[in-house]
Amino acid sequence: MGGISSVISTIGLLGFVVFLGGIALIVVATSQGRSPRGGFFLAAVGLILGILLTVVSQGILVLEPTEVAIVINTVTGEVLEPRQGGTSIIFPILQRVAFIYPTTQQVLVMSATPDEGDRSGDDSVEARTSDGQSVDLDMTVLYRINAADVGTLYLRYREGNYEEAFVRTLAREIARDKATAFTAEDLYGEARVELSANIQAELALRMPEVGLILDDVAVRDTRFSEQFTEAVERRQVAQQLREQAQIEAETVRTRAVGEAEAARERAEGEADATVTRANAEAEALRVVSAQIAANPNLIQYLYVQNLSDNVSLALIPSNSPFLFDLNTLLPANSGLTVPEGNPTPETTPEPPAGG
């Protein structure tokens, strides 16, 4: 549909060509003494068609979906209802299109890097922190035109220089003001995100005054003097070393506590084991004592059981009392006896050979 106006305008141009052709016929017919009626008719049709189609083409306004047009009354100068994307009709001569604005998101970059923004050279925002340090801010502002309130933007900035005259100026002013709430060391760290949020909140309140809508603000980088940067880095290195030393000391303390706890648990375990063994031995002795008391010959039996297999004679000092009844321990066919009252056994003589 964007070509309708062009097509009508082209046909109107052809009408003016026909008008010129009719004039040429009139001249030729007059010079030859013939009637110029045909030329007059052709010229009149061409002129009417050309004027009519030209006026019609001027009354058709075709806009892209991402455009909005300012239409004003040429008699009163009044700004009429904005015309948005599509095809619309205006009254030629009485109305005219004053300006066409884009409604897509626009990007304003203010950076120290020459080829990042619209301006060549350093376009960053110079500000001061609460402790008097100078800081350069690289900023990006994302915004768009409010199509419903584009008339306000046109009345304030008829030449379309709203970005330079309003957005850039206001954003830099607010950034300088908000930076004074932070120390340089804060902005050197994570406070840059908070600064962006503060600038965005203030700018979002001010931009609708001229028919603009703010989408986002980002402080992308902060730069300080070389001396301040070196001082901050030295402090950060010192802090990292202190933290590392604290971590190592805590590790040593933790290891020492663990070793002490393990030693204590081992000592308690050994003590518990000793008590357990002592209790077991005491219980065993109690059981043995109970068995001996119940069966006095038990100890004699155990003694004999533990003698070597080839032992057949035991010598006991004469002045020692008998622990056992040896007669009951000697085998029946051993030929040995122990007389009563005699501490040593007598050997029975062997019978003479052959008899």
Q: What is the pLDDT of residues 97-129, one digit of tens each?
A: 889 999 999 999 999 887 777 777 888 999 988
Question: Comparing 6 with 199, which gets the higher pLDDT?
Answer: 199
pLDDT at 235: 67
pLDDT at 189: 79
Closest CA to 143 of 162, 157, 118: 162
Q: What percent of the chain has pLDDT over 90?
A: 24
Question: Comparing 21 with 140, which gets the higher pLDDT?
Answer: 140
pLDDT at 306: 67
Angle, CA 181 vertex, CA 177 and CA 186 arms, to 5°: 125
332 lies in some domain: no
Average pLDDT over residues 138-147: 95
Count up the domains in the chain and report the number: 3
User: Encoding tokens for residue 90?
Assistant: 């205006």
- How many Å apart are CA 146 and CA 58, to the nearest integer? 26
| Phi, then psi, of 9 in degrees rounded to 5 | -65, -35
Average pLDDT over residues 148-156: 92
Long-range (24+ apart) CB contacts under 8 A made by 89-97 are: 89/59, 89/60, 89/61, 90/58, 90/59, 90/61, 91/59, 92/55, 92/58, 92/59, 93/55, 95/71, 96/71, 96/72, 97/61, 97/69, 97/70, 97/71
85 plus 110 within the same structural domain: no
- Which of 71-85, 139-153, 328-342 is predicted with the least confidence, judged by mean pLDDT? 328-342
76 plus 17 within the same structural domain: yes
pLDDT tens sequence across 290-329: 777 777 766 666 666 666 565 555 555 555 555 555 555 5
Q: What is the CATH number of the domain that holds 152?
A: 3.30.479.30
Among 171, 191, 224, the domain boundary falls at 224
350 lies in some domain: no
118 plus 68 within the same structural domain: no
pLDDT at 214: 96
276 plus 205 within the same structural domain: no
Q: Is the pTM of this model over 0.85?
A: no
Residue 165 identity: A
Residue 188 pLDDT > 60, yes or no? yes
Among 45, 79, 101, the domain boundary falls at 101
pLDDT tens sequence across 240-299: 777 777 887 788 888 888 888 888 888 888 888 888 888 887 877 777 777 777 777 666
125 plus 198 within the same structural domain: yes
Q: How far is CA 245 from CA 203, 254, 258, 286, in A?
A: 46, 14, 20, 61
Average pLDDT over residues 14-20: 78
89 plus 115 within the same structural domain: no
Query: What mean pLDDT value characterizes the chain?
Result: 79
Residue 56 pLDDT > 50, yes or no? yes
pLDDT at 355: 41
Residue 130 pLDDT > 70, yes or no? yes
Among 81, 101, 121, the domain boundary falls at 101
pLDDT at 326: 53
115 lies in some domain: yes
Burial status of residue 68 (CB atoms within 10 A of its CB: 0-12, 13-18, 19 or more): buried
278 lies in some domain: yes
Q: Residue 63's domain spans which residues? A: 4-101
